[in-house]
Chains A and B, each alone.
Chain A
Amino acid sequence: MFSTVLPYLLSGISVGGQYALIAIGYTMVYGILRLINFAHGDVFMVAGILMVYITASGAPLYVAIPLVLVMTAVIGFAIERVAYKPLRSAPRMSIMISAIGVSYTLQNLVLYITGGLNQFYPSIPFISETITIGGASTRMVTIVTPILTLVLVILLVLLINHTKIGMAMRAVSKDFETSRLMGIKINSVISVTFVIGSFLAAVGSVLYFTNYTTVIQTSGNMPGLKAFVAAVFGGIGSVPGAVVGAFIIGICENLLKGLDTILIKAGWSTSMFGFTTFSDAFTFALLIIILIVKPTGLFGEKQTEKV
């Protein structure tokens, strides 16, 4: 029984870690701007494409990976400056539409550059290796992901709680206008948020695409949406919440993918139900349930609507 579940559990933890890295970007941006950054999933995808092209140009991995991380952070910064900053005083719907526009633009740009073909992600020596845990064969990335995710999250939490810029971020997410009156440079705080979010998404993309091996312009959609659900699930605005939510979603989704096999092997069922079809739908069902039962999520703060 356990040996049947283990591989699904492992890949669930791994995918969960990757979602977590993306979800942090959503949750931080939402915490500060009250904006669902629909383009975040596409930033994640662009990081994957950058990696493909940079390694194809002959750069060794120890150059390529840092370069991808930096370039993605710059892209995140640029998107904020070009598409969101001019709309700071506009209604929230306008910024959300702008985010959708950015998402559309990034996808079309990548479609143009790649010609709409699947791009093969380079294999990264250490984390692509196959290993065996408890009888289940998996890749090194499965082990590396949760560890790396936790390390990065702890660093981020330290940054938010113990540095000056972290304090500024907390202040801005608490009250945008007042923190501005207190002399906090809103624009630089927002830029830092986008840089951190995009950087983590790029780390996530290195891990994610090592597992899935191909990148196409729509690759960012599903992971992006799921990471967003994870952020809502954990309580949007809360970094630890996003991480917990992401792990729960990653694990549930993968267990659902394997549920048919697990049930048959355990002798509880004799036919395939086709649960795999619902692995994506499940995430959204979870989202809707959480929104109705506890709209602030697991760790979210209670917010009162101001009139």
Chain B
Amino acid sequence: MKTQLLSIAAAGLLSLTSVWAAAPVVIQNATIMTVTNGTINNGSVVLQDGKIVAVGTKVNIPAGATIVDGTGKYVIPGIIDCHSHIATEAVNEGSLSVSSMVGITDTINPEDIAIYRAMAGGVTTANILHGSANSIGGKTVVLKMRWDHSADQMLFEGATPGIKFALGENPKRRGAAAMPGLTATPPRYPATRMGVEDVIREAFTGAKAYKASWDEYNAKAAKGIVAIPPARDLKYEPLVEVLEGKRFVHSHCYRQDEILMLLRVADDYGFKVRTLQHVLEGYKVAKEIAAHGAGASTFSDWWAYKVEAYDAIPYNATLMMRKGVLVSLNSDDAELMRHLNEEAAKTMKYGGATETEALSMVTINPAKQLGIDKRVGSIEVGKDGDVVIYDQHPLSTFTKVEKVYIDGQLYFDRSKDLADRPTKEAEKKALITKAAEEQKKNAPQGGGRRGGGL
């Protein structure tokens, strides 16, 4: 009795403290594309206690391991999307152009079906950002696609937090008084790219002064001098973290002028732009981006949907890469997110990237950009057990994801998804029937609501 209770308690503790307590997994006889250490034919990967514990042609099989036959299949590290808005209930706090006080973490919906679908497309980690309505948006968060877990359990432990900036057409849109269909009055500053620069400078001028007031207070406090602490300012706190290098700037941008503008502002205020997002004209100023040390996270071939995207070229990623910029491909879209591997393949067509370069842009490069490359982004011993099994070469249009492991646990299994469909369909029918019966039963006598339910 006592032991039983103990084991129940232990199990409870385990499920509370750790989401990765599963049997070891050995994927055998597969083509293992490690990304950082070449490709291993007829190789194996061993996942244990959430981590990759062995990779190679000969590995020790842990006791009780689940063996997965990978004959004819390909294994790559889980795909990382550096720009996504899935699993969010709210994206833009558009009433101010500096809304650094808000955080996307407060809006995470772990039941968004887009999480499951992204995972079924090989994505295991995503950078979740605010929208681009504001010059300075809000605090971003990195999530692992731990489907069927709570929002807190999806957080990528220890990932450096970020903040979303946006330049160009989107943040200045609210400044246009006569925007058709937009009744927001009065117009919100800024209305031009010039104004966007000023908004960011004003914000950092304030943040610097705020930081100085705290530095002064802390210095006094350290010396034991009695002083009154400055009032906290939730708008400036994240910007101070940016100045201290504790928070990454991920900035939406398109045109070369605004890219250079932000790099210069960052230089002036002494912070780094971690990634330029979209950065469709990045190829024009690749040299300057590389010199600043900013990463670039772009689309493979989106263009012409608005004026600032008219000079976008599908060679952007490869051209920036060749000029020394760390480049990733992102989705910004729940659909595109499902086939980032195919987007990566386009860098081979447009600009002649190698297979490894192409795959890097959706694995190790975004991991580096998010500062999580010690944990994910390649198949290496000691890294998280985040791997994807494809039935064909992952850079082929004919391929599809068969299995996805996160923290060494099986999170997506195509064969199970297919097998479960009849049951789910029956369950859905039963629920609809039940709902219809309830509605009929509860309908008020003599008319009332017709139809409804939409």
Do the two shown chains form a genuine complex with each other? no
Residue ranges of A at the interface with B (Cβ–Cβ < 8 Å)? none
Residue ranges of B at the interface with A (Cβ–Cβ < 8 Å)? none
